[in-house]
Amino acid sequence: MKLNTLNDLLVSELKDLYSAETQLLKALPRMAKSAKSPSLKQAFEEHTKATEEHRNRLERILSDLDASPRGRKCAGMEGLIEEGKEIMEMDGDAAVHDAALIAAAQRVEHYEIAAYGTARTYANMLGMSEAARLLQTTLDEEEATDQKLTDIAESEVNQKAAQH
């Protein structure tokens, strides 16, 4: 794929995000299963459903651009998920394990927030108001998930982890 225009770059970014969301759809159920805290488990389960919708939005935007969602593999998400797998395989205190899972999940969220913000900006610059609106909706949901993880960490998990 050549990057000759901002439109080319937007399509490339959207394909990368599609790959990231697809990889995340496989990882989130494993993270939910690994979580010990019921509220963290529920947050991962809820985010799995949201991630399906995020991927659907990307498919819609790419279809409107006459582009296939396939064709790129998001190496960044692959690395973040690999780090999460390493955490899930570690033994230790349940609360400390959950705190580590939250940290890994928030790295994923921050990666997605950066990527969706960039794609939304490109769409705005190209006058693609519907694409920009859909990307902003997903960005808002990713930010809300990050905040939910922070709330779970601060109100419950990190306090229990600090006791060990």
pLDDT of residue 141: 98
Q: Is 5 helix (H, G, I), strand (E, B) or coil?
A: coil
CATH number of the domain located at residue range(s) 6-162 in this protein:
1.20.1260.10
String of b and e for 131-140 (b: at least 16 CB within 10 Å)?
A: bbebbbebbe
pLDDT value at residue 71? 86
Beta carbons within 10 angstroms of residue 77's beta carbon: 22
| Ranges assigned E (strand) in 42-142 | none
pLDDT at position 142: 98
Please, which pLDDT band fits residue 164 given cuts at 50, 70 and 90?
Answer: confident
Tens digit of each residue's pLDDT (9 = 90 or more) over 118-162: 999 999 999 999 999 999 999 999 999 999 999 999 999 999 999
DSSP string, 66-84: T--S-S---HHHHHHHHHH
Quote the pTM value.
0.94
The residue extents of the domains of the chain are: 6-162
Residue with tokens 């959207």, as numbered in its chain:
14
